Structure 1
Amino acid sequence: MFKVSVDPGYGYIKAINGEGDQVRFPSIVGMAHNLNLNRALGGLIGDKRDEDELKKLHIRYEDDQASGEFFVGELARKSKNASYCFEQNKINHQHTRILIATAAALLAPEGKNIWLGAGLPLEYFEAQKNEMKRMLTNFQAKITFVEKNKTKQIKFDRVSIYAQGVASIYDGLLYPNGRPRYPQFMRPGNLIAAVNWGTRTVDVAVYEVLEGSLEIRGDLCFTLDDAGAMEIRRIVQQAFQEKSGYPISILDAEKIILQKGYIFFNGREYDLSKEIMAAKKHITQLVIDALQTKLGNQTSFIRAIFLTGGVVEDVRDVLDLNKLKTETIIIPDPQFADARGMLHMIRLEERIELQKKKNNGELFSDIG
């Protein structure tokens, strides 16, 4: 089967296929509108229009629950009614279906049987995994990329659901071929932690190394809500209202952050760069304090901590790794760690099943 793993984060969709192709775009959806005027004006003023396909996701979408024409990702910022979905249970939200279908359509060739791996926040995993698997197993959608006038039918022939944070440790510890990156960490009895720092949630998963495998330590795993990038946006919202007297949306706060803290509003320019820096320090301290209080004296026994998730890059300039008092590693391109880790886990599932078939003398095919 053709493998695709999707990390449907609150802030960004990250996805990768078995051939190494990957996509990443904001988890924003808005109703589409006519872009002809934008294009005409862009040409008149000499604007260099971005040729990146992921910044031009204009789609027509149809499934058994919804249909319409939408802007997705960066392009959705041009829609007046664009929004994120920040519900704790967003499985059956229209945006979730549109975002996952878009990512899969970008990565999977037409006509291939798809094995989809998808993630849920650690705290919601047990409560929501069956519901999410059922939704994706029964999922069928038609999606047309308007810019290319290309239509794909999307359905998933097999679905595996993984816990975010739990998946990312596989990316931190293993090369794509399955060999260990850090053999020194793999001594039986060692504890290894993964901190998956996302837009809304921070998932902390702790493993104990066994002989030839890893065992999750459920007693040491936890999720922090509202300690991710969204908290920075809320602080910026509040700071702007205090300075200007006017409330702004989450998307407006995000725009201020993307513009390094500067925004022109009602005849004057506002500078919120100090507030942004203070917000970064605030959420960083929240996470460090939580690691020390929730893990208790076990903190001293942890051999290594892997930092993953997109917020790691956001707070890198204020992150003092020495405060954690153990070896701390920021995974390269940390925002993709869960998507890559889920792909590892799909391949591991496949190898185990094929080995069982081989041991039972069964014939098998479709290795990929």
Structure 2
Amino acid sequence: MNMHAARVRQLPGFEPGEGKNLTVGLDIGFGYVKVVAGNGRWALFPSIVGEGRELHILSGFGSNDPMDNLVVDVDGRRYFVGNLALRETEAELDIDPDKIFNIDFEVLVYTALALVSDKPDQDVNIYLGLPINFYRTQKARFEDKLRAHQMSRFVKILGQDVRLIRIRNFEIFPQAGGAIFNQILDFRSEVRTPRLARGKIGIIDGGTKTTDCIYMEDLKFVDQRSYSVNDGGTHKILMDIRDFLMKNFDHYYPRLAEVDQMLRERKVEVKGKVYDLSSVIDASASRVARKIVREIAAKWPNHMEFRAMILVGGGGYVMHPFLKETFPDILLVQDEFEGEAVAGDWNVIQFANALGFLKLAVMRYGEKK
């Protein structure tokens, strides 16, 4: 999948429920929005919002895929979201911790919900995650924000009719915790991996800004043993790649979203010539991984007690080879995603939390057949 990949698809193996309200699992990271819904639809797009305007020419050469041109009107105000914001505005990836309280975050939430909804008037039950540090300090404030806005918006996406999206119920969860429930539960929210349902589990979620390390025992979140590794995500790797480009290619200074594409493809094209970035990426990822290893050694000295250590997130995918040097039994997330079990795929790993949130939402709000 292209880094700017943003698409709406039907989730193989999922049986849509018949509940009145649409159940949704939503993971809004610093880099990407991942959303999956109880009707089997899912979407992925960059977490970038820019100011909208009238466009006379749309890209995509006639493509009807709304993800190529996410022009989004929320309560009458226009925004460019995802790929379109990258092309047509100066918007950049936002790694500000307070982003969850600004209008861009709200636009991302309602864009995601509109993309997976299938009715013009859609009531939604939603599970969403916050990074562990924000969950501890900002959960109540974030809940108040959602309630204060009555949790309903008129949303118009190019190519769709106007939709009224109402968030009827919501739950906030530690972000990385969704991954373990994704491993344990099937798409009917029934236990598929009993051995992980008891005992101590360590979840390492490599994100854009941070790596969250969640400690769970008998499926209960253990707050005092959970923590976040600041500057332990792919953002540090992106900055190292950009520094390399500036030094070696006449001050070439791409936006971070463009560097993220290079990270995924492990190459860059400059003036028509392709250069391999593997050595730069691996050196940086190794340094970040060593920082994470030091944190784990200090804060989880008894990690040998874990029944499993599970690695998720785009950053987890990049750092897996280096973390495995110290923790040879660490599990890179595996899931049914594109119709069969897939291990080690970046996109599967990205969706681990959102899929887990969906399964929790189905369990809580009941959308089983």
For Structure 1 versus Structure 2, the TM-score category normalised by the shorter chain is 0.7 to 0.9
**CA-to-partner distance for each residue in 1:172-220, whole Å, 9 max, x for gaps?**
2222233333333445xx21111111111211111122xxxx2222232
Structure 2 CA distance, aligned partners of 1:89 and 1:57? Answer: 24
In the alignment, which of 231, 238, 258 is matched to residue 233 of structure 1? 238
In the alignment, which of 139, 143, 152 is matched to residue 140 of structure 1? 152
Which structure has more relative contact order (CA 8 Å, sep 6+)? It is 2
In the alignment, which of 334, 337, 342 is matched to residue 352 of structure 2? 337
Map of 2:17 onto structure 1: none
Structure 1 CA distance, aligned partners of 2:283 and 2:299? Answer: 24
TM-score (norm 2): 0.80
User: Secondary structure at 1:91's aligned position in 2?
Assistant: helix
Structure 2 CA distance, aligned partners of 1:113 and 1:310? Answer: 31
Give the deviation of 1:274 after TM superposition.
2.3
User: Secondary structure at 1:113's aligned position in 2?
Assistant: strand
Whether contact under 8 Å (2:122, 2:163) holds in the other structure is no
In the alignment, which of 50, 56, 64 is matched to residue 69 of structure 2? 56
Letter in structure 2 aligned against 1:30: G
In the alignment, which of 28, 31, 34 is matched to residue 8 of structure 1? 28
Whether contact under 8 Å (1:304, 1:329) holds in the other structure is no
What percent identity do the matched residue pairs reach?
22
Structure 2 CA distance, aligned partners of 1:183 and 1:74? Answer: 40
In the alignment, which of 41, 44, 47 is matched to residue 21 of structure 1? 41
Equivalent runs, 1:170-319 vs 2, <5 Å: 170-187=181-198, 190-209=199-218, 214-244=219-249, 246=251, 248=253, 249-257=255-263, 260-264=266-270, 272-296=277-301, 298-316=302-320, 318-319=321-322
**CA-to-partner distance for each residue in 1:206-249, whole Å, 9 max, x for gaps?**
1122xxxx222223211112211211111112222222452623
Give the deviation of 1:315 after TM superposition.
3.9
RMSD over aligned Cα atoms: 2.7
Letter in structure 2 aligned against 1:305: M
Structure 2 CA distance, aligned partners of 1:261 and 1:13? Answer: 24
Letter in structure 2 aligned against 1:307: L
Letter in structure 2 aligned against 1:180: V
- Flag the 1:185–1:170 CA change in 2: closer, same or farther, 3 A: closer
Letter in structure 1 aligned against 2:365: E
Structure 2 CA distance, aligned partners of 1:76 and 1:24? Answer: 15
- Flag the 1:272–1:329 CA change in 2: closer, same or farther, 3 A: closer
Whether contact under 8 Å (2:58, 2:69) holds in the other structure is no
Q: What are the ranges of 5 or more consecutive residues in structure 2 without an aligned counterpart?
A: 1-20, 336-347
Structure 2 CA distance, aligned partners of 1:204 and 1:178? Answer: 24
In the alignment, which of 125, 138, 161 is matched to residue 172 of structure 2? 161
Alignment partner of 1:111 is 2:121: yes
Letter in structure 2 aligned against 1:55: D
Whether contact under 8 Å (2:203, 2:215) holds in the other structure is yes
Map of 1:323 onto structure 2: 326
Whether contact under 8 Å (1:308, 1:334) holds in the other structure is yes
Moved over 6 A (4+): 267-270
- Flag the 1:231–1:208 CA change in 2: closer, same or farther, 3 A: same
Equivalent runs, 1:122-133 vs 2, <5 Å: 122-133=132-143
Letter in structure 2 aligned against 1:165: A
**CA-to-partner distance for each residue in 1:67-112, whole Å, 9 max, x for gaps?**
6332211222212312222111212212101111100111122223
- Flag the 1:178–1:33 CA change in 2: closer, same or farther, 3 A: closer
User: Secondary structure at 2:172's aligned position in 1?
Assistant: strand
Whether contact under 8 Å (1:239, 1:272) holds in the other structure is no
Letter in structure 1 aligned against 2:153: A
User: Secondary structure at 2:99's aligned position in 1?
Assistant: coil
In the alignment, which of 133, 142, 161 is matched to residue 150 of structure 1? 161
**CA-to-partner distance for each residue in 1:262-303, whole Å, 9 max, x for gaps?**
2326x987664421222222223322332222201x111111
- Flag the 1:142–1:129 CA change in 2: closer, same or farther, 3 A: same
- Flag the 1:234–1:155 CA change in 2: closer, same or farther, 3 A: same
Count residues with an aligned counterpart: 333
Letter in structure 2 aligned against 1:152: R
Structure 1 CA distance, aligned partners of 2:145 and 2:368? Answer: 26
Query: Quick check: 17-26 or 27-36, which moved more?
Result: 27-36
Map of 2:130 onto structure 1: 120
Letter in structure 2 aligned against 1:166: G
Map of 1:96 onto structure 2: 105
Q: What are the ranges of 5 or more consecutive residues in structure 1 without an aligned counterpart?
A: 44-48, 352-365
